[in-house]
Amino acid sequence: ETGVTQSPTHLIKTRGQQVTLRCSSQSGHNTVSWYQQALGQGPQFIFQYYREEENGRGNFPPRFSGLQFPNYSSELNVNALELDDSALYLCASSLAGGNTEAFFGQGTRLTVV
Amino acid sequence: DQQVKQNSPSLSVQEGRISILNCDYTNSMFDYFLWYKKYPAEGPTFLISISSIKDKNEDGRFTVFLNKSAKHLSLHIVPSQPGDSAVYFCAASAESGNTGKLIFGQGTTLQVKP
């Protein structure tokens, strides 16, 4: 069991709405990465935060944004939700430069109707 | 453009036998590879990793082999146990030391029959 916790676990939103997902990182980890996992696919990298700054971004539009706080926890915000945004959103925490594995949370299942 | 590919969506093996899961990649900049296991309603759990400077890494029942010239890696599980039944993801990083920025394959569902 990892120390990475995500909230909420499930969420239903209407197309066009905005959503905020939260992640608390593992103790001692300073980097948080967010992934989107569509049904039947592998997780896709959205972006990473290190020292409260975005440190790399995958192929996702600007309506996907994030924050990292001084305690290393993080938020993922998605504006103008689309039906295709329905997915499992995973947060992973890791230690920069440690070459140790990233630990994942259990994910937030977002359904857009 | 799938940089990491797991071409077998599913694999079924008998308990006690060997499970071999395969993964191919296209990006020669990848320098660190990982395998994750995922049960339903849980996040991926790290299994084993390998650096591009090695060709084999072993941890208990799990061994990962890397063939850089073929851009291929495989995960061997010996002996397979029913509790190993899960979805297995191969993942790669092009930034040595940054294991949070990963490219994942599509996953292979392993079923181990008693």
Model pLDDT, residue B89: 98
Task: Residue A100: list chain B partners with CB under 8 A.
Answer: 99
Compute the half-sphere exposure of residue A22: CA atoms within 13 Å on the CB side of its CA: 7
Helix, coil or strand: residue B83: helix
On the question of pLDDT at B20 being above 90, the answer is yes
Q: B101: Cβ–Cβ under 8 A, 6 or more apart, which residues? A: A33, A45, A48, A55, A56, B93, B94, B95
Rounded Cα–Cα distance for residues A29 and A31 (Å)? 6
What residues are paired with A34 via a beta bridge? Answer: A47, A91
Q: Tokens 């940054």 map to which residue?
A: B98
Q: Tokens 């992934």 map to which residue?
A: A35
Model pLDDT, residue A98: 63
Model pLDDT, residue A7: 96
Model pLDDT, residue A99: 66
Q: What is the mean pLDDT of residues B83-98?
A: 91
Q: Hey, is the C-beta of B88 within 8 angstroms of any chain A C-beta?
A: no
Q: What is the mean pLDDT of each run of 10 residues along chain A (113 residues)?
A: 87 98 91 95 95 93 96 96 97 81 94 97
Token pair belonging to B31: 């320098």
What residues are paired with A35 via a beta bridge? Answer: A45, A90
Pick from B100, B104, B106: CB nearest A48: B100
Q: What is the mean pLDDT of residues B78-97?
A: 93
Q: Hey, is the C-beta of B35 within 8 angstroms of any chain A C-beta?
A: no
Q: Is the peptide bond before A8 cis (omega within 30 degrees of 0)?
A: yes
Strand order in the sheet with B56-59: B4-5, B19-25, B72-77, B62-67, B56-59
First to last CA, chain A: 32
Pick from A97, A98, A107: CB nearest B43: A107
CB contact under 8 A, A45 and B103: yes
Rounded Cα–Cα distance for residues B61 and B5 (Å)? 24
